[in-house]
Structure 1
């Protein structure tokens, strides 16, 4: 059986503009949870999250990385998404799979194009949102000014749950606004926002002006789901400042899968239905990432929405319309895998060597079939024609292109009728350059 109940799970996707420190935040969260013995660094090329050759060479995230941090009896699934627009498909996958969007913003650069884009996507997907104002320790930072800019653009519901003791290199700690020595005005704003999710608690708060820690814990998740509050954290991830406090807050207060609304789906006859995050119902899960590993083969990452699944179970695969056997289940930490006997609602695992599984595929109980909607990926923007050096290369190129398209739904190919050229399309020149580099290596 699974080690964690659904109510003890959290799932967060780190999203935002490029170079705001998402991977550094992920590394610091893992370190503070005791999942690693050292603080991984992007510049040192030793992070758990960015393990691909291209990611290390370019010092940027390219793919969605799946991690987990176990702390205080909770398991937090961390999905580290790339920030560059060329890799928006990975961010879409992460937003679709996770429960909460943790939007990172640089305290140096402030609100950027990617900040607004990610906010809009998270809003379209109906995801609770929170902010991380990172790099507060940098030169010429203006964290409090950026905070006010965020509140001006996204509303006064953006409320800090802690505040920095200084800006720039002098930044050394954060103070929780919920503590007695914390900022009273922001504490009042936070309380007033969260009690909107509970009418009875609102009456009590209006009478007393206070909330107990237990009351706050009970209502913060629902308030985030309603959009009553968007918590904000201050951090300097590379120096591990403010990250422990953020980890504790996520574990204690963020909504669990059990708090999330049901996910829409279709029955075999095409009727609309809803699938709740319920560990006791028949299995329903969805694939959100496909990866080709040179040693293991095809890997399919999926999240369980309802029920549970054990290694060796036979399930229905909507991509092929047939049943398949899940021989092994693996919990992942970047590139590392640990075999687990079973998982249940809210958990994320990977299965290998099932060629018929595809991105967006539903995995479910053969006797209780449902199909989740496809993940809505954006349409590729840039195209170029591929020309084989010799006739013997044509099949190799076709196979490599097919694998790349299977892994990345924002990469597509077609052969033109007029010229018979193989044309590939992606989100940008960098996107295509990365894919072509991988195709050559393989």
Structure 2
């Protein structure tokens, strides 16, 4: 296979909402270039891109898939990405390493909610972007409506390069404003005929062409001067201006497509060759130490691993971009993150499941290798003379959390190893053992992401699992003060146990006045690891309890606070004052006062109007305006409180707060309600009191469990 230099390599990522036609377009691009001689279809599970079994079962992309095509002496690396929010990690890593984003707009739906989510990441990484209006051959296609929405959302950077002469089932002609010709496709698609622009379209085409010339000229002073001198620009000058505009994020060229019928993709590929920037023209990557790493073929070798794929029968595949220098078979590279050396024993260009062996790859190219021992996503491999790690990809935190267990308890350790492997492959999946809840928590981006993870566990790893609800990390506190005295006495031959403790509990808050009833000899303030404080006052006078037993009393209080009296949850924000007690000259010891302190605290706590607190999440819900009323109703049903509403283009951004206990059910309801178009972001806001009726039910359920375990 030919090795291309850095000037003739173009890296593009195909992004767009579900059903926008990314996989079909990728298939068509490979077919146009002659890489494949027959186009597969998503419906028949025969595309190069969607080759995983789970993608065939679901009928849509789950993984980002690397492909390549060769078009007129250029190599175009293509990454086809999933369209659903659940698999956003696959999209983000692909956007990060590609040099141009091809954002597909479904001509039937225009700018969808999913489009906006994807654009946030394209905009964050400032990637040159082509807008590809696809499915112009469908009944409800509307190019004008799609352009209206695109300009409202993306702004004046939307630059029409082409427009369709006709849309709908009769779509077969595109007016190209750069070349000023009409492309007319044969029935069923394929290679178009170049024709003059019809007289009926001359006026419109000329006006749009002039707009295109002005757009190309305004991005460069030299081109602007030439435009003023000549009144126009030639085709090469326009290409130059468009490239500069794309790199400044001031030009988003618009192309017309029917990927399914192979109309328009060849022209867009020619534009990618001639105009879209290569890696060497893009801004330098930056290391964690702030060092610039330009795409320099003469520099020391540097690879950035942007994706890891674990295939049970093949091993671990590491996908990388050559940021500088070149990589060749047999090279030894240093991973500074793990401080290990890695040998490149195999080198491939991937086309779906096909691995094409190659001896070397130049700066700017994308490839993959097998069985690196200690290298994972976000790691940098450096050749001799290169140091530092490239700034990592920032992946989103999980939106859905479940507790996971192996059906066979003997497989718990093995399940942990498998989940760690899955996290390596997909960093948007998080796994943790929660000491407070005594559960292994699996975090995913949504229900579909969770379903695919379960499918992988059961089908690829042969691991049967169960999911349970994640317990809610409630907190307990009190609403008034109370006192209690507890005597611990135990005699069983020989030395006995004796300790008596009298204490007062109060709700603690910042700036509360000092204790008045009893003299405070000393105070200890403890910042609790789970949040809040314990203020412990020693008010003992006259030596009724020896000072050496005070730490044991506090230890007993702390143990009970770690498993609260009401529901077994952590206790926070309490002031405890030990003011009296009794000792025995022989039987008093640390354990006696620890137990007495614990039980006195428990009794006083239950008399002080205990209050259960629950975590509250702050939400941002982005939905089409037509669904706003239904979404607000759903939030209120889930004990949500609406904070504000804002209009964002044709959508509504609703800010609200809802209890964490309602969040999973809410996510499911919103996804069903909006047919997956709602985008929900959440973060912890505060702890707030649980309603009295719900507190009673939770407390009673806890008491029943305690009684059952006691028997």
| Same topology, TM > 0.5 | yes
Match of residue 106 from structure 1: 106
Which residue of 1 is the match for residue 339 of structure 2? Answer: 321
2:268 aligns to what?
246
Mapped to 2, the partners of 1:234 and 1:398 lie a distance apart of 48
Structure 1 position 217, deviation (Å)? 3.0
Structure 2 CA distance, aligned partners of 1:34 and 1:245? 15
Residue 3 of structure 1 corresponds to: 3
1:367-386 correspondence runs (5 A):
367-386=385-404
Deviation at 1:419, TM superposition (A): 4.3
Extract structure 1 runs of 4+ deviating beyond 6 A: none
- 8 Å CA contact 2:126–2:249 kept in 1: the answer is no
Q: Structure 1 residues 179, 390: CA separation in 2 closer, same or farther (over 3 Å shift)?
A: closer
Q: Contact 1:279–1:307 (CA<8 Å) still a contact in 2?
A: yes
1:44 match: 44
Match of 1:395 in 2: 413
Give the match for residue 306 of structure 1. 324
Runs of at least 5 residues in structure 1 that lack an aligned partner in the other structure:
none
Name the structure 2 match of 1:213: 235
Q: How many angstroms does 1:165 deviate by?
A: 1.9
For 1:63, what is the secondary structure of its paired residue? coil
- Of 281, 286, 293, which residue of structure 2 is paired with 1:259? 281
Q: CA deviation at 1:209?
A: 2.5
What displacement does 1:367 show? 2.7
Q: Deviations over 1:44-100 (max 9, x none)?
A: 110000101111111111111001110100011111111100001111011101011
- Structure number with the bigger relative contact order (C-alpha 8 A, sep ≥ 6) is 1
Q: When the two structures are superposed, what TM-score results if normalisation uses the length of structure 1? A: 0.96
For 1:257-298, what per-residue CA distance to the aligned partner results, in whole angstroms no more than 9, with x for missing partners? Answer: 1211111114xxx4x210111111111121011001222200
Q: CA deviation at 1:128?
A: 1.1
Match of 1:429 in 2: 447
Q: Is the Cα–Cα contact under 8 Å of residues 89 and 409 in structure 1 kept in the other structure?
A: yes
Q: What residue number does 1:225 align with?
A: 247
- Counterpart of 2:379 in structure 1 is 361
The Cα offsets for residues 113-150 of structure 1, whole Å up to 9 and x where unpaired, read as: 11111112111111111111111111121112211221
> After the TM superposition, which residues 279-358 of structure 1 pair with which residues of structure 2 at under 5 Å, given as runs?
279-358=297-376
Alignment of 1:263-274 (within 5 A): 263-266=285-288, 270=289, 272-274=290-292
The CA RMSD over aligned residues, in Å, is 1.4
Deviations 1:345-389 (A, max 9, x none): 110111101131110101111432121011011011111111222
Aligned equivalent of 1:128: 128
After superposition, give the CA deviation of every residue in 1:26-45 in whole Å (9 maximum; x if it has no partner).
Answer: 11111111111111211111
In structure 2, the partner of 1:28 is 28
Question: Does structure 1 conserve the Cα–Cα contact (< 8 Å) formed by 2:300 and 2:384?
Answer: no
Tell me, in whole angstroms, the C-alpha distance in 2 between the residues paired with 1:321 and 1:103: 38
Most deviating of 73-82 and 217-226: 217-226
Matched, 1:188 2:210: yes
Q: Secondary structure at the match of 2:427?
A: coil
Q: Which shows bigger deviation, 367-376 or 73-82?
A: 367-376
Which protein shows a greater Rg?
A: 2
Equivalent residue, structure 2, for 1:156 = 156
TM-score (norm 2): 0.60
CA distance in 1, matches of 2:51, 2:231: 49
Trace 1:6-17 onto structure 2 (pairs within 5 A): 6-17=6-17
Write out aligned runs for 1:44-63 (5 A): 44-63=44-63
1:142 and 1:2 mapped to 2: Cα distance? Answer: 42
Asked if 1:200 corresponds to 2:200, the answer is: no
Q: 1:301 to 1:376 in 2, by over 3 A?
A: same
Separation (CA, whole Å) in 1 of partners of 2:417 and 2:160: 50
Counterpart Cα distance in 2 of 1:234 and 1:152: 19
For 2:466, the equivalent position in structure 1 comes to: none
